[in-house]
Structure 1
Amino acid sequence: MHGLCTSNKWTEATSLLDSMMNGGVHPDVVTFNSLIDALCKEKRIEDSIAMLEVMRQRNVKPNIVTYNCLINGLCTSNKWKEATNLLDRMMNEGVHPDVVTFSSLIGALCKKKRTEETISMMELMSQRNVIPNIVTYNCLIHALCSSNKWAEATRLLNRMMNEGVHPDAVTFNSLIDTLCKEGRTEEAISLLEVMSQRNVKPNAVTYECLICGLCKSGECEEATRLLSKMVAEHIVPFIRTFNILLDAIIKQGTNDKAREVLKVMDQHSVQPNGFTCRTMIKMYCAVGEMNKAKDVFDTMITQGFEPDLAAYKVLINGYAKSKRNEEIMRLAEEMIQK
């Protein structure tokens, strides 16, 4: 049975169960757990719930593993209400939920932004003396941050550390992202020092949140410094990170710094996308380097990035400033044909 289930042969496993029961062999909870787990992984939630009823008919008591499989299956299928009902049912039957049970439910509630229900679930955990783990705390902190409940998220961070649960990059990223979105970039950057003190290494997401926040606040120099810091730590930025920084720098008119960022991009073999190309066209047009702007425009097409109306307008305006009317007419014809 277990071999069939782990090989994703749940149809054969179900047939084997029928043969067992018809042949007078009584399946136990381990048998049913293997099958329920396989059904849940195949997203056959109704079939897995039906198997729970078969267990009852055969006087086989479900255990914590049974319920954890079912609750996780319901949660991953966005059926958090049914999962919550199943939690009540298992507790009424005297089966004690553990950290795995609560982590599945809290994760599902967080994804649905059901912050109040998430907090209630945390309180229930406490009442039942179930100690949260890092996954549970990260879900809760993310939910609180997403609901702009910064003070509660900070208290929860302190609580988890007091309980000996060590925050990781995911924990800090939620907090940093929230602070940056609120324009509290100094506080966000100060969390980098806290991460260092706790031996938590920032990742590409950490730096992107900070760079995005700094760019929105007009602090492009500090954002560029952070870009240098992250590459010095051998963390390769996402293309999105480069795009955010390039766009902000060019809007400030500091094209020399934009060229430096493009150089870093090239050094780390980060391929530009359509947004990058449009930003570069804008930069070259602003300083009258129309041949370079046209080269980037052509590269967009050869790489499969269809230039949009904005890209055409930027290039046409650049040609207009350079009084290159023939190029303007050619681009206008291209636009009409598209």
Structure 2
Amino acid sequence: MSRRFVPVDRRILERNIKARYHAGDIGTEDALNLFDELIQVAGPSSVRAINCLLTVVGSDCPALGVSLFNRVARTKVPPHNVTYGILVDCCCRAGRLDLGHAAMGHVIKLGFTAEAIVNFSHLLKAICAEKKTSYAMDIVLRIMPEFNCVPNIFSYNILFKGLCNEKRSQEALELIQIMVEDGGCCRPDVVTYSTVIDGLLKEGEVDQAYRLFSEMLRQGVSPNIVTCNSIISGMCKLHAMDKAEEVLQQMLDRRILPDVTTYTSLIHGYYSLGQCEEVDRVFKEMPRNGVQPNIITYSIQMDYLCKNGRCTEARKIFDSMISLG
């Protein structure tokens, strides 16, 4: 069987586009010029280079990305599943969810659904952004499996974020339990737990948030500094200082070193409660753990000292800030 002949000039152009794309060396204007040049000679093998150009243009101007796709559709280049993924993303970010649905219809019609997890993800994010998370849940839990597209943890995490943004963290908590009890390959990860814990804290559910944090540890999911700082910050804002200190201890036990954000949250929490001795204790603890205050920490400290009649100390801190640069 003979190989299909690809003109040398086109092959060189496609190779050049892909190399520059992966090197991050194509801007929007350049991508448009290259697209005009490639589309005149494009053949079936051009789809990968075209995808690169669509991605660049679509990232900067989604509506223009949709327009370029329409030009591709009129050529001899059969769009790939990745091409449709770019199209769905562009439609959704351009505020045209209706066109995003239409593009997914083509994906289904062409039989790309089994590998369309990214395409669905773009659609899910747009649906959740419109506060229609219940519809997004129907897509993940019913529609995607029907088309043999197995939802992954990224799909579920979009749902968790949507539920928590709609202040439906109790439903998110139930969904986590279902995933854990199911015991399948798609299990909650650190993003899942962090999202729902943050949602619970924003709804004032301190005890449930702490229980979920403990459950995360029992499930063998290791928190990172971002997760811990988010939890500590939320608990300090709700004046649950005992729970915040317990999370800090869990960090230290797991050798996750607290940073200036960790301590600033604790200082602000104790300061808002008027617990002066605890504020002083945290400030003394920071240098022992190799953490230096930043401008926010110093500002909180000076405000605290001035309001407690310790203006001379506050002035010394201000002067030390200047000397420390």
Which TM bucket (shorter chain)? 0.7 to 0.9
What is the 5 A alignment of 1:65-76?
65-75=82-92
SS in 2 for 1:38: helix
Residues 37, 69 of structure 1: 8 Å contact kept: no
Pair 302,78 (structure 1): closer, same or farther in 2 beyond 3 Å = farther
Q: Which has the larger radius of gyration?
A: 1
Query: 1:34 maps to what in 2?
Result: 49
Length, aligned pairs only:
298
Give the distance between the partners of 2:52 and 2:260, measured in 1 at CA: 39
Residues 183, 217 of structure 1: 8 Å contact kept: yes
Query: 2:198 maps to what in 1?
Result: 177
Q: Give 1:5's aligned amino acid.
A: K
CA shift, 1:176, in A, is 1.1
Structure 1 stretch displaced more, 185-194 or 216-225: 216-225
SS in 2 for 1:71: helix
Query: 1:196 maps to what in 2?
Result: 217
Give the distance between the partners of 1:274 and 1:227, measured in 2 at CA: 22
SS in 1 for 2:113: coil
What is the 5 A alignment of 1:162-311?
162=182, 163-285=184-306, 288-299=309-320
Structure 1 stretch displaced more, 251-260 or 111-120: 111-120
Residues 190, 223 of structure 2: 8 Å contact kept: yes
Give the distance between the partners of 2:170 and 2:282, measured in 1 at CA: 36
SS in 2 for 1:72: helix
Query: 1:137 maps to what in 2?
Result: 156
CA shift, 1:124, in A, is 2.5
What TM-score comes out, normalization by structure 2 length?
Answer: 0.78
Give the distance between the partners of 1:87 and 1:297, measured in 2 at CA: 59
Identity of aligned pairs, percent? Answer: 26
1:91 aligns with 2:108: yes
Aligned residue among 83, 107, 132 for 2:125: 107
Q: What value does the CA root-mean-square deviation take over the aligned residues?
A: 3.0
CA shift, 1:120, in A, is 4.1
Pair 111,261 (structure 1): closer, same or farther in 2 beyond 3 Å = farther
What TM-score comes out, normalization by structure 1 length?
Answer: 0.75
The runs of 5 or more residues in structure 1 that have no matched partner are: 22-26, 305-338
Query: 2:5 maps to what in 1?
Result: none
Q: Give 1:105's aligned amino acid.
A: L
